[in-house]
């Protein structure tokens, strides 16, 4: 009986060490992934890059094709260095895609302040929710189905607004998205802490997308509510 207890305790310690290692590596790779994102955003702003210059539907499908192509490759190579390289390439591409909303924000007289506020708000939300998930070790997996349904609704509403360009719908979508992706931060960090995700490359991809989308929609909210053109 004592031997069984010792083996159970040892297995628990090994599991905890592995989860801590995955979480540590995830945070490290997440920090590194911000470098190509910033580089892509700066390059995109300076070049006037825009994937959505043509037909909204074609551009949207092209974006989805490239993004899902990267994510498919990352998943396939998640246990090798190629997975890291693909992840960094993906974050550079997402930085290019970020340049459109950054140029829109910089069109306001208080644009730099809006961007800084969105970045600061994103950081504050992330560190608060990641801290809750890490310290409490509560299992937030029950949120998964609700979050997925919310994500599908947001994607459909965004697609519709590409054609209708309704300001009230854009405001509603961004407000919902801030809540949904904040929930995803809790969900994804909880999965790492509780052993639901054991691959740090895939964990980084999930958390990166949470942070990226949270920033985009927070910035969009700020532009709609407090952007000034004087």
Cβ atoms of 216 and 98 closer than 8 Å? yes
The 10s digit of each residue's pLDDT in 157-205 is 888 877 777 788 888 999 999 999 999 999 999 999 998 889 999 999 9
The 10s digit of each residue's pLDDT in 112-126 is 999 999 999 999 999
pLDDT at position 229: 80
The 10s digit of each residue's pLDDT in 83-102 is 999 999 999 999 999 999 99
Least confident span in 62-71, 143-152, 160-169, 191-200 = 160-169
Confidence band for 34, pLDDT divided at 50, 70 and 90: very high
- State yes or no: pLDDT of 211 exceeds 60: yes
**CA 54, CA 57: separation in Å to the nearest integer?**
9
Higher per-residue confidence, 12 vs 75: 75
Handedness of CA 120, 45, 180, 170 (dihedral sign): positive
Mean pLDDT of all residues in 213-228: 93
Q: Which residue has the tokens 């702003």?
A: 45
Burial of residue 17, with CB atoms counted within 10 A of its CB: 0-12 exposed, 13-18 middle, 19 or more buried: exposed
- State yes or no: pLDDT of 56 exceeds 80: no
pTM, 2 dp = 0.89
Confidence band for 11, pLDDT divided at 50, 70 and 90: very low
**CA 214, CA 123: separation in Å to the nearest integer?**
10
């Amino acid at each position: 009986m004592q031997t069984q207890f010792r083996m159970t305790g040892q297995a628990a310690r090994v599991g905890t060490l592995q989860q801590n290692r995955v979480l540590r590596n995830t945070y490290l790779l997440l920090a590194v992934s911000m470098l190509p994102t910033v580089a892509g955003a700066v390059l995109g702003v300076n070049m006037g890059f825009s994937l959505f210059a043509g037909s909204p539907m074609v551009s949207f499908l092209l974006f989805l094709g490239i993004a899902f192509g990267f994510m498919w490759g990352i998943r396939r190579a998640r246990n090798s260095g190629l997975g890291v390289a693909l992840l960094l390439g993906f974050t550079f591409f997402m930085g290019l895609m970020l340049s459109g909303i950054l140029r829109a924000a910089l069109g306001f007289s208080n644009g730099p302040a809006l961007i800084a506020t969105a970045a600061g708000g994103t950081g504050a939300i992330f560190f608060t929710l990641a801290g809750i998930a890490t310290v409490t070790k509560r299992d937030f997996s029950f949120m998964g189905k609700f979050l997925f349904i919310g994500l599908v609704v947001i994607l459909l509403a965004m697609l519709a607004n590409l054609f209708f360009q309704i300001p009230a719908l854009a405001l509603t979508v961004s407000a919902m998205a801030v809540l949904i992706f904040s929930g995803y931060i809790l969900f994804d960090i909880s999965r790492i802490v509780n052993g639901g995700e054991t691959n740090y490359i895939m964990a980084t991809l999930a958390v990166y997308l949470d942070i990226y989308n949270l920033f985009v929609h927070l910035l969009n909210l700020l532009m709609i509510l407090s952007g000034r053109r004087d």
